[in-house]
Structure 1
């Protein structure tokens, strides 16, 4: 994607740190998120440990940039649950594709029993590896293998095999926050490669932007403009109605497709938290056929 650590990856880490700081009504606990932050972001996350400060900060973010924070919170919990379910069904390895500052390898129950492969752009991964070394004891990261790869220019399979990835093993793949920054050929090639690399019944969990946002038919408000100004504009999206057929042509069956607003209704509203997550940002799960 780029030759520097992703700014949006750090912002998602901030949202996860703010959620963790909420305490009793948080929907997940990500104690490493704050360690991935720098400068002002880290100061904000630490200040948010004082509950009134954290609540005011979240409200300010939501007024200034409606949608991204609750969407990140809801999708994080949904993907957590989907990964745990896949491990319960017998997945023997986990691939975090475009891992960013994802800390699932260290915080999800039972995940240390399987091999976890983190594949990401070398620039973002170099920053993360340094931070993880300072925050996670060696015995808690022995099951994690790092795989530096640029999906725009390199073959995913070659990079994974060099790191010891098991071909045709039951696998759960998480591809979060990535497809909307790639080209259509890169997304197509990656999906086909994943289908050829993993066993029948493996799970692919991924996020995407509704194609109508890129076509101008749906207004994404300040969210799309903010990522564009940061040099990380959205370049790809799926049409939700066409997604089942698209995946079927690539050897996959669509098992789940929810907007982050749907996920917020599932996880936030039962806690009395009515937060406006985005309807155009979605989480899907596909089964390898």
Structure 2
């Protein structure tokens, strides 16, 4: 990420959620009325136009040409994680920590989370932009959310936890969406070691990319172009897992893999009628301590 800018990929995800919110109530996967506020003016204009079915289809086709599979994958992923998150709350979790929160608005838009203490952790550029945008365009910040700032590649979550007196006695869900692919192996290990400090009954929900996308991007539709575009944005992907090795890796941190779905799987589950291909290398996993 450029040092003086917010994450461009966080903007893309907000754009996808904002467009989905414009769909008819009976046809939308979810509603995120906050997402549009994080967008540049021209993107906000496009979102408002997307209420028209023809224009929405045109925008969807443009996105598909530029980033095959990203749009439908991002929407299905959002809904899937919403459902996973709410399942963990119903299972007794009473604290949420969002690592690399970006423009995630779940703590505001999901009714079940409004009574759950939430800690959002992100890079200062994105975090400060998010806070200021919420204050300027929506109003007072939600009282259940605490915002903390960190650079995951250079700073320690343990130090941050000590500084802000994190409570490691509560069953906690740690949500880590859209981050692991930007880190290095050491940062990944340290983050899972941090996650392992939470008590039995805690969960981690995280995304990752299949490691083959980094070594053989041509094996995936649009893979090479995507990596080239990310390089230009200075948001290069640097880490992936082999799905076959994930369970053993998590066991090192006293975590048991519950499920691990690819974009193919959660698209089939949530958007079977939106015919897109691409982004098959992107995955969502959930594990429990």
Q: Shorter-chain TM-score: what band?
A: over 0.9
Aligned to 1:265: 268
- Higher alpha-carbon deviation: 2-11 or 232-241: 2-11
Aligned to 1:92: 94
Aligned to 2:121: 119
1:173·1:205 contact (CA, 8 Å) conserved in 2?
yes
Structure 2 stretches of 5 or more lacking a match?
none
Superposition RMSD in Å:
1.5
Instruction: Give a deviation string over 1:81-120, Cα, whole Å, max 9, x none.
Output: 0110011111111001000000101001211111000000
- Higher alpha-carbon deviation: 231-240 or 39-48: 39-48
- Cα offset for 1:147? 0.6
* SS of aligned partner of 2:97: strand
- Cα offset for 1:185? 0.4
Task: Give runs of aligned pairs for residues 9-28 of structure 1, distance below 5 A.
Answer: 9-23=10-24, 24-28=26-30
2:242 to 232, 235, 239: 239
1:66·1:222 contact (CA, 8 Å) conserved in 2?
no
Distance 2:138 2:165 in 1: 22
Aligned to 1:147: 148
Aligned to 1:79: 81
Aligned to 2:112: 110
Distance 2:90 2:159 in 1: 28
- Cα offset for 1:168? 2.8
Distance 1:57 1:125 in 2: 28
2:184·2:238 contact (CA, 8 Å) conserved in 1?
yes
Distance 2:281 2:203 in 1: 22
2:262·2:284 contact (CA, 8 Å) conserved in 1?
yes
- Cα offset for 1:180? 0.2
Distance 1:180 1:209 in 2: 6
Q: Report the TM-score, using the length of structure 2 for normalisation.
A: 0.94
Aligned to 2:288: 287
- Cα offset for 1:10? 0.6
- Cα offset for 1:153? 1.5
Q: Does 1:69 align with 2:35?
A: no
Q: Report the TM-score, using the length of structure 1 for normalisation.
A: 0.94
- Cα offset for 1:69? 1.1
- Cα offset for 1:125? 0.3
Aligned to 1:178: 179
Q: Which runs of 4+ in 1 moved over 4 A?
A: none
Aligned to 1:195: 196
Aligned to 1:214: 214
